[in-house]
Structure 1
Amino acid sequence: MMLNTRSVTILGAGIAGLALARALALKGAKVTVLEQAPELREVGAGLQITPNGARVMDALGLGAALRSQSMASEAVELIDGETGAQVLKLNLPGEQLAGQFRLVHRADLITVLGDGARDAGVDIHLLQQITEVTLGAHPPRLKTAQGGEIEADLLIGADGLHSRVRQALNGTVAPFFTHQVAWRATLPAEADIRPMAQIYMGPGRHIVTYPLREGRLRNVVAVEERHKWAEESWSLTDDPLAFRIAFEDFVPEVRRWLDAIERPNLWGLFRHPVAQTWYGHGAAILGDAAHPTLPFLAQGANMALEDAWVLAEALATSEPDTAFAAYQQARKSRVTRIVEAANANARNYHLSGIRRDIAHAGLKLMNRVAPDRVMGRYDWIYSHDVTAGT
């Protein structure tokens, strides 16, 4: 397929949409991104880009910009939240992968990708809320909140958890509430904050924290198991007393961080099935629209970047139907495995009683005798290179 003969409309100016937009535009496509927000920004706080995602950023020509807006992470440390004892420390690989584990503010990554898309010639239209997507024996049709109608040559849904394009392809599937909620916030960091991700674990709850913006900020995500339902939205705020109480028996440094947070954001964590159908009738989906994942493996953004590269490569070499089929075939088994691994991590962080004691003892022993073996369990994630040979 010659991309310079096609127009591509992308719904959503998040990580997946902007990465795909730049990738397609660099290959000659005329790309338009429709975003419902009034400006290019990203709610949320921090995220981790791992080597599999960093390779895509390099291939897009944005690696240097990413590194300038992020910090290199040196390790991941698991800590008993109630005692402060180290359970396991994973030193992130040096040499070949040096600097490829990055800690970045979501807003900064969106800025890098947005600037990259515009530099490649992408048209980004804001305040474009799409209320309906119709697929069939005609080009994809979009209806806007203002009553307008848009007909697309090719349509790509990068429109997140509540994707209109996914719904048009698969119908409505109700997600499963995990009975977990997450709070997130950033706060000014102390001068000696370490460049690593730390996970403080307790029965039925845990906290992930790491520095952002050259160590000026501390990112905090706190997760608790609970029966009370919470909405799946990143725009809600909560009474800070609620999550201070949830972690009141954690070590003093954790309680000091939580005491400094006045308006934490709250969202319910839901499991969504990986979409059965990723394409059809001139449309396809990627990122969270295709395979939402729980935030327990730091792979949501990385999967979105991988998707974007694979889909752009497929569209550059084949006609749309063939390209979409090859893209789904290449991606579905990998993202399904990652989603399942993230689900398992949620359980492992929240162990209690004798199971927790046994698991922590085993990890401490492994930390002493064979720490590299633990890191090797994730080679299948970090060593994967979707840009190889291109």
Structure 2
Amino acid sequence: MGSIDPPNRQFTVTIIGAGVGGLTLALGLIRNKVPVDIYEAAPDFKSTGFGISMGPAAHRALTLIDPSISKAYDALVTTHADSPGYESFRRTWFELVWTTADKCGEVMTNLKAKTLGQTSVHRGHFLETLIGCLPPGKVQWGKSLTEMRETAQGVSLRFEDGSSTVADVVVGCDGIHSRVRQHMLLGEPIRPQYSGMYAYRAVLDMATMIEAVGERRARVATMYMGHGGYVVTYPIMRAKQVNVGLFKLSSGWEHDTWVRLASRDEMKRDFGHMGDAVRSIVQRIETPSQWAVLDIPHMSTYTRNSITVLGDAAHASTPHQGAGAGQAIEDVHVLAELLGDARVLRREHVKAAFHAYDAIRRPRSQWVVSTSRDMGHMLSLSLGTVCPGEVELKHRLNERMALLWDLDILGQADIARRVMLQHFSWIV
């Protein structure tokens, strides 16, 4: 049997941003024989960053986008099974523990997925592996976008280094401070906004964490729920270290930058009422950083003509559901399936694909942004004037996670494809 010729694509997809969204999209498009260019503002690659987590739905999508992505993730991933004796927690996302005076230290619930629970990788290591999966030289570094303008020929792009190009179509994967979004929605300025919480972040060695809270609490991903805030800990780096986040409700952010150096005394002030375990964790964090927890307002659209945005550029979320990176992966799966369809050959077809992507992905991803804020309040025992009882709280949590985790990934892409093909009928 002879080989099937690849589709005669009359367009190249220009990706702005070489983060998780941009790189996974590039791999998914290349797999589907779609030409790709990638521009990244950073001068070169640096393996920096904290851990990132993927929920079950996003984890299932990795293989569907490109098996090399799931292979890269699984080669680096930390799960509960990396701690000998804790294999039975493989399905656990987090254990939720009370810090209120009457129940301090008691486990409220063990949130479990149907298959794989808590997973995390070091962001920098994951990106480095993804870059290695691309053809050599595919990422053009030091390309900070300064101007974007649509013309009859395509999308004119100008960069800070003085270079320029004309793209057929553009996908902005350039994060919460996206310049693609800024240029795309000139009449609708969408800027990062303070979400009503700030956080302290730190990484502790596993041995230090065991000393602080004991073996089980150190090795099992835990959320400590308290009045006015909560604390999250989970193992990373194959259970050699523990990622720590301490989240505090606060109506305002009074600092000039979104990130600042903080002190242990500030943490004690914010979390000293949350029991011995939390106080012990705080005592072992020597140089904490304090971060304003941001998201972005809902946008009226994720696309305009030959331009679209995905991931944090479209729907940056607070981290309270561990779903931000996963939403980018869900975006990528839908967009790669649409643009990779053999019937998508011209720029006009891409516009229909972008419309379908927006129609399907915007409602779900914006729901995640809204419910993530709600989750922060839920974990901080601050849901209006009446705090739900334990049974109601468990019900809300399990219902929420099922909606996040049990998505029909293939079904979502199929619906988007049907929407796209309906729009094909309008193309002359």
TM-score range, shorter chain: 0.7 to 0.9
The structural deviation recorded for 1:129 is: 1.5
Of 54-63 and 300-309, deviating more is: 54-63
Kept in 2, the 8 Å contact 1:90–1:375? The answer is no
Match of 1:17 among 10, 19, 22: 22
Match of 1:71 among 58, 67, 78: 78
Kept in 2, the 8 Å contact 1:181–1:225? The answer is yes
Separation in structure 2 between the aligned mates of residue 207 and residue 231 of structure 1, nearest angstrom: 25
Q: Does residue 385 of structure 1 match 2:408?
A: yes
The structural deviation recorded for 1:291 is: 1.0
Match of 2:335?
Answer: 311
Q: Does residue 362 of structure 1 match 2:391?
A: yes
Kept in 2, the 8 Å contact 1:230–1:268? The answer is no
1:1-390 aligned within 5 A: 2=7, 4-41=9-46, 43-59=48-64, 60-61=66-67, 62-73=69-80, 74=89, 75=92, 76-83=94-101, 84-94=104-114, 97=115, 99=116, 101-116=118-133, 118=134, 123-171=138-186, 172-190=189-207, 192=215, 194-226=218-250, 227-230=252-255, 233=258, 236-317=260-341, 318=344, 319-351=349-381, 358-359=387-388, 361-362=390-391, 374-387=397-410
Separation in structure 1 between the aligned mates of residue 384 and residue 159 of structure 2, nearest angstrom: 55
Q: TM-score normalised to the size of structure 2?
A: 0.79
Separation in structure 2 between the aligned mates of residue 33 and residue 353 of structure 1, nearest angstrom: 43
Separation in structure 2 between the aligned mates of residue 329 and residue 130 of structure 1, nearest angstrom: 27
Kept in 1, the 8 Å contact 2:177–2:191? The answer is no
The structural deviation recorded for 1:138 is: 4.0
Structure number with the higher strand fraction is: 1
Separation in structure 2 between the aligned mates of residue 273 and residue 182 of structure 1, nearest angstrom: 20
The percent of aligned pairs where both chains have the same amino acid is: 26
Separation in structure 2 between the aligned mates of residue 77 and residue 197 of structure 1, nearest angstrom: 6
Of 375-384 and 9-18, deviating more is: 375-384
RMSD in angstroms over aligned alpha carbons? 2.8
The structural deviation recorded for 1:345 is: 0.7
Q: Which has the larger radius of gyration?
A: 2
Kept in 2, the 8 Å contact 1:169–1:278? The answer is no
Deviations 1:173-195 (A, max 9, x none): 34442332122121111363555
Kept in 2, the 8 Å contact 1:183–1:265? The answer is yes
Deviations 1:247-291 (A, max 9, x none): 122333323332332333322123422221222242111001111
The structural deviation recorded for 1:225 is: 2.2
The structural deviation recorded for 1:143 is: 1.9
Kept in 2, the 8 Å contact 1:169–1:277? The answer is no
Deviations 1:264-323 (A, max 9, x none): 332212342222122224211100111111111111000000101111111122311111
Distance verdict in 2 for CA 1:101–1:354, change over 3 Å: closer
Q: TM-score normalised to the size of structure 1?
A: 0.86
Kept in 1, the 8 Å contact 2:150–2:156? The answer is yes
Distance verdict in 2 for CA 1:241–1:111, change over 3 Å: farther
Kept in 1, the 8 Å contact 2:191–2:297? The answer is no
The structural deviation recorded for 1:153 is: 2.0
Kept in 2, the 8 Å contact 1:49–1:302? The answer is yes
SS in 1 for 2:298: coil
